[in-house]
A = this chain, B = another copy of it.
């Protein structure tokens, strides 16, 4: 084989050199930008990715030529420069060029100890990272002349040759090692997990060492100008005297504060000019690189050198604040600020968070079902939760799983933990709706319902009254109390979302069932209520009794009597809701659940009910049994109840209309939207519409008031989607209930799917949990069919989705593309949805610009 010439494809970084992030990597490009800002960056040579690939393939570089760029006998460092800083890369190697001769010089200039330590450090690093020798052999506690000799001997013994003296050889070996590490499997998998493509390439930068070991003020430091947790302006970082950059991470007693600090001396006091210069560099970076940067610097004999700059790592809340501040300072556009904030990151900001800097005593793990963290005393029943709340003691409701009768307990708790269930279990859905931190399916923990003990896998026993913290953002269950960060609904948050509203082109409403929910929706600036479930209104004690009387009524008259007692309460619900939502649309779903949900399940409960209704227990039991269903999801509920027991919908419609009139009398205005659930045939809509129109006419006559309303359909069955053309004849709007629609399209109960969903997602049977991410292929096609056929019948048909999927960026993208008018999601997802919708509009604009 012909010997190939050494590669000479490298370039010194100067303001005018041809440096590209794609060819030379982000670090090379960043250093060039710093140079263009006139920063004191040490001389640097960039090796492009093509060169590194060639080296990995066995070619050699003209290392002498590289070193010649740095003058005589230089010491240099090599750092990775991949195309994207997130992709990692091999560790930096410092002090290449160190050898016996250079050591002798250093002894003279910096003294024996410093020279020994520096040489030893290089030998260690080279032996381990380049020659790949056993790290244990080079682990030495204290640098000394003897330790240096031992290390050099150990190297020779292992390698059968002395430690390389030739700087060009040293550099060549370092480059070869780094290029191969990049090509290795573990590095490849690691960077691919961070989103790097298969062909991701590595550039390297070779930089003259800025020692920080000289006379006067010398040392290395790192500085940033914001608090990485809050994003507020604040200088943070550290400075170590007589140290190289690799030392900064060390915890040393003699580190200096950067700014004046009562606790000790600071760089700002000791070298005010240098500090001011650093601050100027930081400001320049921010203005020109349009980002908050962290600078790595050395001071050598009172001369500042900026050796590297990276984007400040930051929390979600800091990221938002930085983006807004940059936009407000005119450094980036509002659009760019919007795109810099990941919608999903917003969820974290709406709730208290466990402080990432604190320690965690994890006793179990579950599914992070509703974000935010909460600390409270364990209670095992809803009654205990209410008692605890009335004592003013925060509590965590711990249940095997929750049911509708736990609603009041959930309202009373600061967090919910369940042993069973998934992302769409009752606890999870209600928890997200209430903005209540929630961990579900914590199968690590086992709940002994009889003994009232929560047992951890490791055998720790927790009883009622014990303090725990649940972290609904990570799914962790922690013992005791932990440090928390408060929620961040600050000015920056509100400002960013107002910008989002300026650009987005699809409506965002909230699912809100109660006045409290509605207030939250308003706080988060939802454009109305897209789904108000009315059944929760009937679980309050006084109402439950009337509901049960209604259920046990023998004649339509008796039923009407029981419902008449519910009417004023139901009307008050709507008056409150409408007052809060004034001027915005409110879409009310008529009664949906099967009646048996309102009956007690225990023998004792049935006995109490029999007493309350003054009927024999045997009859109550028999009738309760007769109401049970094999598959309640597919049973007698929704519009089926509305057809068979039409008095219920009559009462609800009357309550809605009377509330509208009442609110109008008080000067408010509302156009209610009435939504019929579980429709599977257009005739159902026709029948309900006829009765509701009649109720409206009756209320108009009785109150002598005029009002408008809209009647629409919740599309939850595949058949309703297929027959949307026919249904739209009687409906002003269609709102797709993607929870139930997903259940029916898959033939999959979300309450029962937990048992195998993990296996399914792990084996790739389903790419995602379809209750979590909208199934575009199946359910999505039904949405498109329904939308198209509906609009064909009625061009101005309002289209929306109101399932749990509503707040997901993927669902919003789908609905936006399909021409839907709005999405509706739980109140606490509204901010995320507003931002996600803005992203989509901006990306679309970009796409249109480029094509």
Contacts and interface: CB of A to CB of B under 8 A. Distances in A.
Interface of A: 629-636, 640, 643-644, 678, 680-681, 683-684, 687, 716-719, 722-723, 740, 743-749, 751-753, 755-756, 759-760, 763-766, 775, 777-779, 781-782
A728 B749 CA distance: 25
A756 B643 contact: yes
Contact of A744 (B681, B723, B747): B747
Contact of A687 (B718, B763, B778): B763
A751 B680 contact: no
Contact of A634 (B634, B716, B722): B634
Given A629-B751, A680-B747, A684-B765, 17 more contacts: A630-B752, A631-B631, A634-B748, A635-B748, A636-B752, A636-B755, A643-B756, A680-B745, A680-B746, A681-B765, A683-B763, A683-B764, A717-B747, A719-B747, A722-B745, A722-B781, A744-B744
Contacts of A760: 640, 643
A687 B643 CA distance: 44
A723 B780 CA distance: 12
**Top 5 A-B residue pairs of the complex, sorted by shortest distance between their CB atoms:** A634-B749, A631-B749, A635-B752, A719-B778, A717-B747
A744 B744 CA distance: 5
A294 B755 CA distance: 69
Nearest to A758: B644
Nearest to A628: B752
B636 A633 contact: no
B629 A749 contact: yes
A684 B764 CA distance: 9
B747 A716 contact: yes
A725 to B, nearest CB: 10
Contact of A631 (B632, B680, B717): B632
Which of A629, A634, A746, A763 gathers most chain B CB within 10 Å?
A634
Contacts of A629: 749, 751-752
A634 B723 contact: no
Contacts of A755: 635-636, 644
Contacts of A635: 748-749, 752-753, 755
B719 A746 contact: yes
A812 to B, nearest CB: 22
Contacts of A640: 756, 760
A635 to B, nearest CB: 4
A586 to B, nearest CB: 26
A683 B765 contact: yes
A419 to B, nearest CB: 11
A782 B722 contact: yes
A601 to B, nearest CB: 13
Contact of A630 (B632, B681, B716): B632
A777 B631 contact: no
Contact of A633 (B634, B680, B718, B759): B634
A759 to B, nearest CB: 5
Contacts of A748: 634-635, 680, 717
Which of A631, A681, A743 gathers most chain B CB within 10 Å?
A631
Contacts of A778: 680, 718-719, 722-723
A629 B629 CA distance: 12
Given A632-B631, A644-B756, A681 B745 contact: no
24 contacts: A630-B633, A630-B752, A633-B633, A633-B747, A634-B744, A634-B749, A635-B749, A635-B753, A640-B756, A644-B759, A681-B765, A681-B766, A683-B765, A684-B765, A716-B747, A719-B745, A719-B779, A722-B782, A723-B777, A723-B778, A740-B747, A744-B744, A744-B745, A744-B747
Nearest to A401: B630
A40 to B, nearest CB: 58
Given A765-B687, A781-B722, A782-B718, A636 B746 contact: no
A683 B678 CA distance: 30
A683 B777 CA distance: 13
A619 to B, nearest CB: 13
Which of A629, A644, A681 gathers most chain B CB within 10 Å?
A681
A756 B756 CA distance: 33
Contacts of A680: 745-748, 778
A749 B630 CA distance: 8
Nearest to A634: B749
A748 B681 CA distance: 12
A752 B595 CA distance: 13
Contacts of A723: 777-778
A635 B756 CA distance: 9
A481 B635 CA distance: 39
Contacts of A717: 745-748
A724 B433 CA distance: 36
Nearest to A765: B683
A760 B633 CA distance: 18
A601 B760 CA distance: 29
Contacts of A644: 755-756, 759
A681 B644 CA distance: 36
Nearest to A741: B747
A318 B747 CA distance: 47
Given A744-B718, A752-B629, A759 B634 contact: no
Nearest to A777: B723
Contacts of A751: 629-631
A15 to B, nearest CB: 55
Given A683-B764, A747-B740, A763-B643, A756 B636 contact: yes
A754 B633 CA distance: 15
A762 to B, nearest CB: 11
Contacts of A744: 634, 718, 744-745, 747
Nearest to A630: B751
A77 B759 CA distance: 84
Contacts of A763: 643, 683, 687
Contacts of A719: 745-747, 775, 778-779
Contacts of A777: 722-723
A633 to B, nearest CB: 4
A115 B765 CA distance: 93
A12 to B, nearest CB: 54
A825 to B, nearest CB: 22
A740 to B, nearest CB: 7
A759 B646 CA distance: 12
Nearest to A775: B719
Contacts of A716: 747
Given A632-B631, A722-B778, A678 B747 contact: yes
Contacts of A678: 747
Contacts of A630: 632-633, 749, 751-752
Contact of A718 (B631, B745, B752): B745
Contacts of A782: 718, 722
